[in-house]
Amino acid sequence: MPKTSPMMEGILSKPLTPQESVTVTAVATDITDHQLISRFKEGSMEAMEAIVDRYENRIFNFGLKMCGQFQDAEDITQDTFLNAFRYLNTFREETKLKNWLFKIATTACIRKRRKKKCEPDHELSLDSFTNTDGTKETYDIPDWTDDPSDKVIQAEMNSVINNSIKTLPHKYKLVFNLRDIEGFSTKETAEILGISIESVKTRLHRARLALREKISRSYQEGKST
Amino acid sequence: MKENCKKNFERISEYLDGELGRDACLQIEQHLMECPECRDCFDALKKTIALCKKSGQEEIPGDMRERLRSKLRDCFSSH
The partner residue sitting opposite B45, judged by closest CB among A82, A154, A212, is A212
Lowest mean pLDDT among A21-30, A137-146, B33-42, B68-77: A21-30
Percent of chain B with pLDDT over 70: 97
3-class state of residue A137 by DSSP: coil
User: Does position B3 have pLDDT exceeding 60, yes or no?
Assistant: yes
Number of residues that this document lists for chain B: 79
Provide the pLDDT for residue A21.
Answer: 44
Query: What mean pLDDT is predicted for residues A210-225?
Result: 83
* Residue A97 pLDDT: 95
Higher pLDDT, A201 or A144: A201
What domains lie within chain A, and their CATH numbers? Answer: 6-115 (1.10.1740.10), 126-224 (1.10.10.10)
* A209: closest CA of chain B, how far (Å): 7
pLDDT recorded at residue B63: 97
In the predicted structure, residue A102 carries a pLDDT above the cut 80:
yes
Give A9-67 pLDDT, tens digit per residue: 555 555 444 444 444 444 445 568 999 999 999 999 999 999 999 999 999 999 999 99
| Beta carbons within 10 angstroms of residue B20's beta carbon | 17
Chain B residues within 8 A of A142 when measuring between CB atoms: 47, 51
A151 pLDDT above the threshold of 50: yes
Per cent of chain A over pLDDT 70 is 81
Name chain A contacts of B41, Cβ cutoff 8 Å: 137, 139
Answer whether B75 sits within 8 Å of A49, measured CB to CB: no
pLDDT of res. A9: 55
- SS3 state at B12: helix
pLDDT above 90 for A123:
no
Kindly determine whether residue B51 and residue A157, on different chains, have CB atoms separated by under 8 Å.
yes
How many helices and strands in chain B, by DSSP H and E?
A: 5, 0
Number of alpha helices (DSSP H) and beta strands (DSSP E) in chain A = 10, 0
Is A175 within 8 Å of A204 (Cβ atoms)? Answer: yes
What percent of chain B shows pLDDT beyond 90? 72
The four Cα atoms A101, A184, A59, A33 give a dihedral, to 10 degrees, of 50
For residue B56, CA distances in Å to A58, A64, A127, A140, A160 come to 12, 12, 32, 21, 12
Q: Where are the domains of chain B?
A: 1-54
Evaluate if residue B65 carries a pLDDT over 80.
yes
Cα angle value A216/A219/A221 (rounded, 5°): 110
Q: Which of B44, B37, B45, B40 is nearest to B17 (CA)?
A: B45
Contacts of A148 (CB under 8 A, 6+ apart): none
Alpha carbon A140 to its chain's center: 27
Tell me how far apart the alpha carbons of residues A64 and A66 are, in angstroms, rounded to a whole number: 5
- Chain B partners of A180 at a C-beta cutoff of 8 Å? 49, 52-53
CB of A107 less than 8 A from some CB of B: no
Please report the pLDDT score of residue A194 as a whole number. Answer: 97
pLDDT in tens, B4-42: 888 888 899 999 999 999 999 999 999 999 999 889 989
Q: Which of A36-50, A107-121, A176-190 has the highest mean pLDDT?
A: A176-190
Task: State the average pLDDT over residues A177-189.
Answer: 97
- Give percent of chain A above pLDDT 90: 56
Give dist(CA A202, CA A178) in Å, integer: 14
Length of chain A: 225
Q: Is the pLDDT of residue A92 over 90?
A: no
